[in-house]
């Protein structure tokens, strides 16, 4: 989420294209998984689509632009609406478990995309990268890993909060529900005011371990 401003048009274009692909598939998987579990809300809104336009959020895209040039920001695609009461109960966890599965489908799709890029890198010679295509694959991989790790943070409205809700005892549900209204503000504070962590954000400190593990597993090399 953090970085020094960069103004290389080619780098910015690669990052933006990567974001568009990653977010489109991320939101598509939310919608598709919800449909498979019985909720057709997103289906009737045309969200089970790989057309980036249906997942486009104007303000979220502006935030993507800021991140692309290295400025700290919180970016997003158009959220997929899910009606929890239409989801089929999933075992003992009920509809909360179904909602967690819908949420998990998004970050999982980003890990799969990152794995595809990592495999392509390995087949083309691995690290260090020496061609523009290899560099683009590295960007594609790292952005998708970052999105997966970031979305697994258990703070609303991120996907990790839905997964946490399925793991915690039922009496925690009202507290998590109350946290929803403050989730966005909490994320902004964690992103912008984390100087206690060596000048980086608290978000970066939380995401870094997950990012490092995924990077090493997918590439076979340390950070």
- Over residues 3-62, the pLDDT tens digits come to 445 567 788 888 999 999 999 999 999 999 999 999 999 999 999 999 999 999 999 889
CA distance 206 to 191: 11
Contact in structure between 194 and 204 (CB atoms under 8 Å): yes
27 as an active site residue: the answer is: yes
Identify the active-site residue in 27, 130, 135, 180.
Answer: 27
Task: Say whether the peptide bond before residue 4 is cis (omega within 30 degrees of 0).
Answer: no
Report yes or no on 47 lying in a domain: yes
Q: What CA–CA distances, in Å, run from 219 to 14, 135, 205?
A: 20, 14, 21
Least confident of 8-12, 51-55, 79-83, 148-152: 8-12
Report yes or no on 1 lying in a domain: no
* Number of domains present in the structure of the chain: 1
H or E, element range at 173: helix 173-179
Over range 78-84, report the average pLDDT: 95
Range(s) of the domain holding residue 108? 9-219
Q: Which residue has the higher pLDDT, 205 or 216?
A: 216
* Of residues 79, 77, 82, the one with CA closest to residue 44: 82
* Model pTM score: 0.88
Report yes or no on 4 lying in a domain: no
Model pLDDT, residue 72: 72
H or E, element range at 17: helix 9-36
């Amino acid at each position: 989420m953090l970085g020094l401003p960069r103004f290389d048009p080619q780098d910015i274009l690669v990052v933006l294209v990567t974001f568009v692909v990653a977010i489109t598939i991320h939101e598509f998987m939310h919608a598709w998984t919800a449909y498979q579990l019985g909720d057709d809300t997103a289906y009737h809104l045309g969200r089970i689509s790989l057309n980036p336009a249906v997942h486009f959020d104007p303000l979220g895209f502006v935030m993507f632009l800021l991140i692309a040039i290295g400025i700290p920001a919180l970016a997003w695609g158009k959220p997929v609406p899910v009606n929890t009461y239409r989801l089929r109960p999933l075992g003992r966890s009920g509809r909360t478990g179904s909602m967690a599965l819908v949420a998990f489908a998004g970050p999982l799709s980003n890990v799969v995309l990152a794995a595809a890029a990592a495999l392509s890198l390995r087949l083309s010679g691995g690290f260090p990268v020496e061609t523009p295509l290899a560099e683009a694959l590295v960007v594609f991989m790292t952005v998708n890993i970052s999105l997966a790790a970031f979305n697994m943070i258990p703070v609303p409205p991120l996907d990790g909060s839905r997964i946490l809700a399925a793991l915690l005892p039922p009496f925690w549900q009202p507290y998590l529900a109350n946290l929803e209204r403050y989730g966005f503000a909490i994320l902004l504070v964690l992103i912008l005011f984390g100087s206690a962590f060596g000048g980086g954000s608290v978000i970066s400190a939380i995401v870094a371990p997950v990012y490092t593990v995924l990077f090493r597993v997918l590439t076979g090399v340390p950070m």
